[in-house]
Amino acid sequence: MASTRETVHLMMLDGQTGLYVDRIESPQRVRVASTVGFREFLHCSAVGKAILAHLPGARLEQVIARGLPRLTTRTITDPARLRQHLAVVARRGFAIDNEEGEAGIRCVGAPIFDHRSQGLAWVSVAGPAYRLPIGRLAGWGRRAREGAMAISAALGFPGEEAHARG
């Protein structure tokens, strides 16, 4: 938050939804309002898509089978398109939400891994779309990923090469 001056969230997977477990609010007057304890569909937020990109295939299919409700005109609701999008998220190590969960809000999200290389939690940076132009999100995504990897290392994550091996 100190470097982006935007709201930072920590989410954990709870069943087939994401559960916000912590947040650090932006110090700016216009900011993303959020609540610890709020549950969110996974397919329409950066942090949720970062979760989905690292789920085992059968678990991902359970989430997709539950349905992909449209929350904005940008929400990905087609299962095939979502699977393609998640493959990109997994490769680059972070997800982008381009006003998919709520019009006027953009965010980036990245996974935090534990010592077993399992997704433990997910971190995101969110702000008003007018302050987060789409061209800025890739850089912020890399920063979120770096922060998430630093937390992962502190938790004993053996590193991305070990994670890729399985």
- Interval 62-103: pLDDT, tens: 999 999 999 999 999 999 999 999 999 999 999 999 999 999
| Among candidate residues 120, 139, 118, 136, the one with its CA nearest the CA of residue 128 | 136
Tell me, what's the pLDDT at 165?
A: 46
Rounded Cα distance between 23 and 15, Å, is 20
User: Is the predicted pLDDT of residue 160 greater than 60, yes or no?
Assistant: yes
pTM of model > 0.85: yes
User: Is the predicted pLDDT of residue 26 greater than 70, yes or no?
Assistant: yes
Tokens of 139: 């850089």
Report which of residues 131 and 161 the model is more confident about.
131
Per CATH, domain 7-165 is 3.30.450.40: yes
Report which of residues 3 and 51 the model is more confident about.
51
- Residue count of the chain: 166
Angle separating helix axes 79-92 and 57-66, nearest 10 degrees: 140
Q: Give residue 33's pLDDT band: very low, low, confident or very high (50, 70, 90).
A: confident
Rounded to a whole number of angstroms, the distance between the first and last alpha carbons of the chain is: 32
The ranges assigned to domains in the chain are 7-165
User: Is the predicted pLDDT of residue 2 greater than 90, yes or no?
Assistant: no
- 51: helix, coil or strand? helix
Tell me, what's the pLDDT at 34?
A: 85
Q: What percent of the chain has pLDDT over 90?
A: 80
Rounded Cα distance between 13 and 126, Å, is 18
User: Is the predicted pLDDT of residue 40 greater than 70, yes or no?
Assistant: yes
User: Is the predicted pLDDT of residue 139 greater than 60, yes or no?
Assistant: yes
Tell me, what's the pLDDT at 150?
A: 93
Tell me, what's the pLDDT at 22?
A: 95
